[in-house]
């Protein structure tokens, strides 16, 4: 176990330079982007001295390296500045939306992994059967479909034609989040408040967005799991396990899948970035009040501090999840140690 | 050995692998009896079907391989016709296997203990986990490995140790028949010798019958009571080990024995057999060995030779109307 703890500490320390690089890239990109935040704020026709004054207020007339150090220091203090549009702290705006996005991405990821890994393993076990072909076709088709198109189609089928599921928002018209809102994770909040009716309302609202996001990403997991499983199923230890009389199903779903999951875990870490990007589109399609939709709104309004803040939070989430993935990886595979 | 009880009887076994360019006829009518308590050496060059035969006995042919006809009677029941449930009761419990490469035959993500517990509890639900670990520990110690190592993973073990663990796993349910498929090919010479000694010792202790599949004639000379020589998906000769080495009957067996490297001065050159193994997608008509046979006759090109038996040995060759 000592090895494992050493690995976790080492891996966590490695996150620090990674986050620093991410923050630097965000800083640089936002300042290299075309368009001047001050003229965007003031409408472009403001007199020269007003613009100068605003620049001074925002600290934009200082040398870049001073701004950079100042920026890093602010991030360390969890201070992401104030919105240029509304008189609100960026951290407050994000805190309000973070729960919605995390709820969506967690359930999206769940759908991706369950659907992708299960279908992939099944296809590998039944190689060259009709089921395998159907699953491979599914993998390719779903991989090609844009998130928003899939979202629209699911809305059309399950929301409009069948009228089974709501197509927008986190709650229905008779549910008021202010009644139970505490952490921003509505599923948790409604449970804490003991409000089962609202809990189910929140849950059905989550279904379509989570499946839209999850199914889109499941394609790559189907193909990856299938390919890994086929490889693993050829291993000597699979044959050896079967020769000891272990039932095929157990051999496939315990011995083989556990080994096939190692590269899939890595992929999961890498896919988190894609998941966040998908969340932006899914939130827009489903009027989901999360960080993705916030980002899009504020890009239209050129609210630079908010844009920067949202991207920083996304980046931190990606860094954090890849850290978690790497730790899980080490727990699963006894061969991985520093 | 001739008088013992026959526990395994294979008759007319055909195995095929349909592949894109045709069908590989991996076994073309194999007949073989295994007698309780014996070590049967199964020898032949790569691709002759010796491993296919071994895997057929427990029905572990890799797809698309399949048994197309024939019987494999294990204690009166035909393994070739069994359903999955019956098979699982035999595999690992009555008939066990050890494989070529001990380095890759253990699941890298499972500890040694987990391997044992799973195997024991698959066959006997009534055994508790702690009891299974105890049994595993006893088995390891009898193989000269400390029971402390049950918590370790395969990558923490040496090759020889892993081979011993593989054999421990194979024997933990006390099977009566052990099929060893080239068990020493991946080991170095010293570990190989130790392993063969161990196998011989375990055979006595566990009252095992062993089918030892190998291309190394030295291995079988050391251990086997009888030897089966295979060529091109057929059995060409079966004989008690001493008789086979002293007086090979089939021209292929002769060639095989002559090609064992010898450092005596009167045989300075390595003897080789001309030609190469047959293409089993389109095997030669008649005797499969005739294109390489120094004594091939007309009839060999037309018709498959019948098996003739006598004096405890069997040979399939047109040269013999009876065992001389």
Pairwise CA distance, residues B50 & B228, whole Å: 9
What pLDDT score was predicted for residue B2? 46
Per CB-CB distance under 8 Å, the chain A contacts of B105 are 236-237, 239-240
Domain count across chain B: 1
Residue A320 forms contact with B (CB below 8 Å): no
Q: Which H, E and C letters describe A288-307, residue by residue?
A: CCCHHHHHHHHHHHCCHHHH
The question of ipTM being above 0.85 is answered as yes
Evaluate whether residue B133 is within a structural domain. Answer: no
Evaluate whether residue B108 is within a structural domain. Answer: no
Per CB-CB distance under 8 Å, the chain A contacts of B90 are 245
Tokens 């195995």, located at residue: B15
Q: What is the pLDDT of residues A140-173, one digit of tens each?
A: 999 899 988 999 999 999 988 998 988 888 888 7
Residue B315 has pLDDT above 60, yes or no: yes
A246 contacts B92? CB cut-off 8 A: yes
- Specify whether the backbone of A302 is left (phi greater than 0), alpha (psi in -120 to 50) or beta: left
B89 contacts A245? CB cut-off 8 A: yes
Residue B1 has pLDDT above 50, yes or no: no
> Taking a C-beta distance cutoff of 8 angstroms, is the pair B241, B41 a contact?
yes
Evaluate whether residue B134 is within a structural domain. Answer: no
Q: Domains plus CATH for chain A? A: 2-76 (no CATH), 99-301 (1.10.3720)
Per CB-CB distance under 8 Å, the chain B contacts of A3 are none
Q: How far is A239 from chain B (nearest CA, A)?
A: 8
Evaluate whether residue B20 is within a structural domain. Answer: yes
B155 contacts A246? CB cut-off 8 A: no
Evaluate whether residue B310 is within a structural domain. Answer: yes
Tokens 């709104």, located at residue: A297
Evaluate whether residue B197 is within a structural domain. Answer: yes
Q: What pTM was estimated for this model as a whole?
A: 0.80
A246 contacts B96? CB cut-off 8 A: no
What pLDDT score was predicted for residue A56? 82
Residue A333 forms contact with B (CB below 8 Å): yes
Per CB-CB distance under 8 Å, the chain B contacts of A335 are 108, 153, 155
The CATH code of the domain that includes B259 is 3.40.50.300
Q: Out of B92, B109, B173, whose CB is closest to A333?
A: B109
Residue A236 forms contact with B (CB below 8 Å): yes
Q: What is the pLDDT of residues B24-81, one digit of tens each?
A: 999 999 999 999 999 999 999 888 999 999 999 999 998 889 999 999 999 999 999 9
A 2-21 residues with CB < 8 A to B: none
pLDDT category of residue B252 using cuts at 50, 70 and 90? very high
> Residue B254's domain spans which residues?
6-94+175-316
> Taking a C-beta distance cutoff of 8 angstroms, is the pair B87, B60 a contact?
no
Evaluate whether residue B148 is within a structural domain. Answer: no
Q: Which H, E and C letters describe A209-230, residue by residue?
A: HHHHHHHHHHHHHHHHHHHHHH
> Taking a C-beta distance cutoff of 8 angstroms, is the pair A261, A227 a contact?
no
What residue in A sits closest to B92 (Cα-Cα)? A244
Q: Which residues of chain A have pLDDT under 70?
A: 1, 43-44, 337-338
What tokens were used for B184?
């020493």
What residue in B sits closest to A335 (Cα-Cα)? B155
- Segment (H or E) for B137: helix B129-142
Evaluate whether residue B109 is within a structural domain. Answer: no
């Amino acid at each position: 176990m000592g090895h494992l703890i050493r690995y976790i500490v080492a891996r966590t320390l490695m996150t620090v330079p990674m986050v620093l690089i991410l923050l630097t890239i965000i800083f640089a990109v936002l300042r290299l982007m075309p368009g001047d935040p001050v003229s965007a704020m003031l409408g472009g026709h403001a007199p020269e001295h007003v613009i100068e004054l605003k620049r001074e207020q925002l600290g934009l007339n200082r040398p870049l390296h001073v701004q950079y150090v100042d920026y890093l220091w602010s991030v360390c203090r969890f201070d992401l500045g104030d919105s240029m549009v509304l008189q609100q702290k960026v951290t407050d705006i994000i805190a309000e939306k973070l729960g919605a996005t995390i709820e969506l991405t967690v359930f999206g990821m769940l759908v991706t992994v369950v659907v992708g890994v299960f279908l992939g393993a099944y296809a590998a076990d039944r190689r060259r059967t009709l089921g395998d072909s159907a699953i491979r076709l599914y993998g390719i088709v779903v991989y090609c479909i844009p998130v928003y198109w899939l979202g629209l189609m699911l809305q059309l089928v399950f929301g409009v034609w069948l009228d089974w599921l709501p197509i927008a928002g986190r709650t229905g018209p008779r549910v008021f989040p202010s009644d139970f809102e505490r952490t921003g994770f509505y599923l948790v909040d409604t449970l804490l408040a003991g409000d089962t009716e609202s809990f189910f309302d929140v849950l059905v609202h989550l279904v379509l967005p989570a499946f839209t996001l999850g199914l889109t990403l499941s394609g790559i997991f189907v193909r990856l799991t299938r390919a890994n499983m086929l490889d693993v199923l050829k291993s000597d230890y699979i044959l050896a396990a079967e020769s000891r009389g272990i039932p095929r199903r157990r051999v496939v779903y315990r011995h083989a899948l556990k080994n096939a999951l190692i590269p899939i875990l890595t992929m999961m870490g890498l896919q988190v970035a894609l998941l966040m990007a998908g969340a932006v589109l899914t939130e827009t399609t489903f009027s989901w009040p999360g960080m993705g939709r916030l980002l899009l709104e504020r890009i239209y309004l050129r609210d630079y501090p908010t844009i920067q803040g949202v991207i920083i939070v996304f980046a931190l989430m990606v860094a954090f999840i890849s850290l978690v993935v790497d730790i899980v990886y080490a727990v699963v595979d006894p061969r991985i140690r520093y | 050995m001739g008088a013992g009880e026959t526990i395994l009887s294979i008759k007319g076994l055909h195995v095929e692998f349909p592949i894109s360019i045709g069908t590989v006829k991996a076994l073309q009518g194999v007949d073989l009896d295994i007698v309780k308590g014996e070590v049967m050496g199964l020898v032949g060059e790569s691709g002759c079907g010796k491993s296919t035969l071994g895997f057929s006995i427990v029905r572990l042919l890799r797809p698309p391989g399949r048994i197309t006809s024939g019987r494999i009677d294990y204690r009166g029941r035909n393994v070739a016709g069994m359903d999955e449930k019956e098979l699982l009761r035999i595999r690992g419990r009555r008939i066990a296997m050890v494989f070529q490469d001990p380095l890759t035959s253990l699941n890298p993500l499972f500890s040694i203990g987990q391997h044992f517990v799973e195997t024991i509890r698959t066959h006997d639900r009534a055994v508790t986990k702690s009891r299974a670990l105890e049994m595993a520990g006893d088995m390891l110690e009898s193989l000269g490995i400390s029971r402390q190592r049950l918590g370790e993973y395969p990558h923490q073990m040496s090759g020889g140790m892993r081979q011993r663990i593989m054999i421990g796993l194979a024997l933990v349910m006390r099977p009566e028949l052990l099929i060893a498929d080239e068990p020493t090919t991946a080991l170095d010479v010293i570990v190989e010798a130790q392993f063969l000694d161990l196998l011989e010792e375990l055979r006595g202790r566990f009252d095992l019958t062993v089918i030892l599949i190998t291309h190394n004639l030295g291995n079988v000379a050391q251990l086997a009571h009888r030897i089966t020589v295979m060529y091109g998906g057929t059995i060409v000769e079966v004989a008690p080990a001493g008789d086979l080495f002293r007086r090979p009957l089939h021209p292929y067996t002769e060639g095989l024995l002559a090609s064992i490297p010898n450092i005596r001065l009167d045989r300075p050159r390595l003897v080789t057999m001309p030609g190469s193994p047959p293409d089993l997608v389109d095997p030669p008509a008649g005797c499969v060995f005739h294109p390489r046979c120094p004594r091939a006759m007309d009839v060999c090109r037309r018709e498959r030779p019948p098996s003739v038996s006598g004096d405890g040995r069997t040979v399939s060759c047109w040269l013999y109307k009876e065992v001389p």
